[in-house]
């Protein structure tokens, strides 16, 4: 057998090898997986002993002392799996080799899904515990940005065409609101997770009923005790050989929903970068383009968009897997879930780290924003001018026609001649509009066009954001700035 190729000579997932955090990568590693299997076998033995099975204390202590695997044991398991074509039995064998006293009791009464499915549920729960606080941090950073720019007028866009003014902070609150919904969804998905527990080969608990000589109460107690030892509040009341794969659908749907929020936010930031109104962080030595040295490409937001599309497409895989399970189970779910579940959380983890990095370094350019407002505001102010003229005794219909003619003249200068919007100068020069000449500066004050946007930011942050983040107060303390590996 040839030696394995160096990592740079074989395919490596960019999620684990390039982007994701060490914590998330470690969670879905083989070391964590197989170590968790050993913990599950230990907890099963503890519960069986407590309920009367003759398992020696030495066997329990032996298992406790050998929960971690080293390189040699991993090699042994790999060799055993080649022979047996069964990963669980390979690890039962290696664990038994390390724990000879416990060997007769390891996996007693259990089916493979006792360790594989229960371990997956443990990983899902821990993965949510990693991403939920990260989402809270991103929301916190974005809320601070919204408060800082609560009153900065900016051009609103509908159909990507200039519309009524809003503020930079108010626009950020649109992003935050969706992220708050995601926080709720992730919390709900995490808290809904149950345990497969101790159910046997087809979910009937027949093997355990045999172990306890037909004592139904002890079998129920065993299921409850193992669930408790593994840190879950309840076990699913009925299962087949596996827990329902609909649980995976529910978990991934929360992540997929988050991906839409990330995609929307990052797309908006990319558009704002194009307008040069807002810029994502750009490091001193960062290169935007290999050919065009002046470029400052929004690569962070582009990365978020690319990964969000990838994450969004994972829901269908989980849905089809859940719907195509036959009766009590088939094995066509296994290879699919080995890819889908880890990669969904690894992708979410990367997106959140990148969003945190973006929100910690967003730069706003008021001069560019104000220049764009100045180019469009005269058209938007025409209704204000008409109303002021009416209050000064003018006829609305006549005023409307006068300002319509001037607006078309100004628009021709902008569109056909490439000049600046000179509508206000035309109004100043018009004798008809003399009654409002002194009020034009007041009528064109951008802050009078943003409505309650600043107050909406204040109310939203106080009434919605702060309460949602309160459970994460400790996690938000002394959080280090997010650094991107590449």
CA 298/CA 306 separation, integer angstroms: 12
Annotated active-site residue in 289, 334, 408, 437: 289
Q: Is residue 379 a contact partner of residue 421, using CB atoms and an 8 Å limit?
A: yes
Q: At how many degrees (to 10) do helices 314-323 and 334-359 cross?
A: 150
Q: Which DSSP string corresponds to 151-204? A: T-EEEEEETTEEEEEEEHHHHHHHHHHHHHHHHHHHHHHHHH--B--S--SSSS
Sign (positive/negative) of CA torsion 341, 344, 347, 353? negative
The verdict on whether 149 is a catalytic residue reads no
User: Residue 435 corresponds to which tokens in the numbers above?
Assistant: 């009654």
**Alpha helix ranges (H) inside 360-418:** 366-380, 382-391, 396-416
**Alpha helix ranges (H) inside 3-111:** 14, 22-27, 30-50, 57-64, 71-84, 87-98
Q: Name the residue with tokens 């009925």.
A: 238
CA 114/CA 327 separation, integer angstroms: 18
Q: Which DSSP string corresponds to 226-282? A: HHHHTT-S-B-S--SSS--THHHHHHHHHHHHHHHHHHHHHHHHHHHHHHTSEE---
Q: Name the residue with tokens 């669980």.
A: 88
Q: Is residue 99 a contact partner of residue 38, using CB atoms and an 8 Å limit?
A: no
The verdict on whether 289 is a catalytic residue reads yes
User: Residue 158 corresponds to which tokens in the numbers above?
Assistant: 């509908």
Helix (H, G, I), strand (E, B) or coil at 318: helix
Neighbours of 341 (CB within 10 A): 21
CA angle 436, 438, 442 (to 5 degrees): 90
Residues marked active site are found at 159, 289
């Amino acid at each position: 057998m040839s030696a394995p190729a160096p990592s740079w000579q074989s395919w490596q997932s960019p999620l684990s090898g390039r982007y994701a955090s060490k914590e998330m990568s470690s969670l879905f590693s083989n070391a964590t997986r197989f170590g968790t299997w050993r913990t599950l076998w230990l907890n099963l033995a503890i519960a069986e002993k407590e309920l009367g099975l003759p398992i020696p204390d030495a066997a329990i202590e032996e298992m406790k002392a050998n929960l971690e695997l080293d390189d040699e044991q991993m090699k042994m398991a790999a060799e055993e799996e080649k022979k047996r074509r069964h990963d669980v039995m390979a690890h039962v064998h290696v664990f038994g080799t390390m724990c000879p006293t416990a060997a007769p009791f390891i996996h007693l009464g259990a089916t493979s899904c006792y360790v594989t499915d229960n371990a997956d549920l443990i990983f899902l729960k821990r993965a949510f515990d990693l991403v939920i606080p990260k989402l809270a941090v991103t929301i916190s950073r974005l809320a601070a940005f919204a408060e800082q720019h609560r009153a900065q007028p900016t051009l609103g866009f509908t159909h990507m065409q200039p519309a009524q003014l809003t503020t930079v902070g108010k626009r950020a609150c649109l992003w935050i609101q969706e992220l708050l919904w995601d926080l709720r969804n992730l919390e709900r998905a995490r808290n809904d997770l149950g345990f497969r527990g101790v159910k046997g080969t087809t979910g009937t608990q027949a093997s355990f009923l045999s172990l306890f000589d037909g004592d139904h109460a002890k079998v129920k107690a065993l299921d409850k005790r193992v669930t408790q030892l593994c840190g879950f509040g309840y076990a699913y009341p009925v299962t087949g050989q596996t827990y329902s794969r609909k649980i995976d659908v529910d978990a991934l749907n929360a992540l997929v929903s988050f991906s839409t929020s990330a995609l929307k936010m990052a797309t908006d930031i990319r558009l704002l970068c194009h307008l040069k109104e807002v810029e994502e962080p750009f490091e001193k030595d960062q290169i935007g383009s290999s050919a065009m040295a002046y470029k400052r490409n929004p690569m962070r937001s582009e990365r978020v968009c690319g990964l969000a599309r990838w994450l969004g497409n994972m829901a269908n895989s989980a849905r089809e897997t859940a719907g195509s399970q036959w009766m009590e189970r088939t094995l066509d779910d296994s290879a699919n879930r080995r890819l889908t579940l880890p990669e969904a959380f690894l992708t979410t983890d990367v997106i959140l780290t990148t969003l945190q990095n973006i929100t910690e370094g967003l730069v706003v350019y008021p001069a560019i924003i104000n220049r764009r407002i100045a180019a469009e505001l005269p058209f938007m102010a025409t209704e204000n001018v008409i109303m002021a003229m009416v209050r000064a005794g003018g006829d609305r219909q006549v005023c409307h026609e006068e300002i319509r003619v001037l607006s078309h003249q100004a628009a021709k200068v902008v569109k056909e001649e490439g000049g600046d919007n000179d509508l206000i100068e035309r109004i100043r020069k018009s004798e008809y509009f003399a009654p409002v000449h002194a009020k034009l500066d007041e009528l064109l004050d951008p802050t009078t066009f943003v409505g309650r946007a600043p107050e909406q930011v204040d109310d939203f942050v106080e009434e919605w954001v702060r309460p949602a983040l309160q459970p994460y107060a400790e996690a938000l303390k002394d959080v280090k700035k997010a650094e991107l590996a590449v």
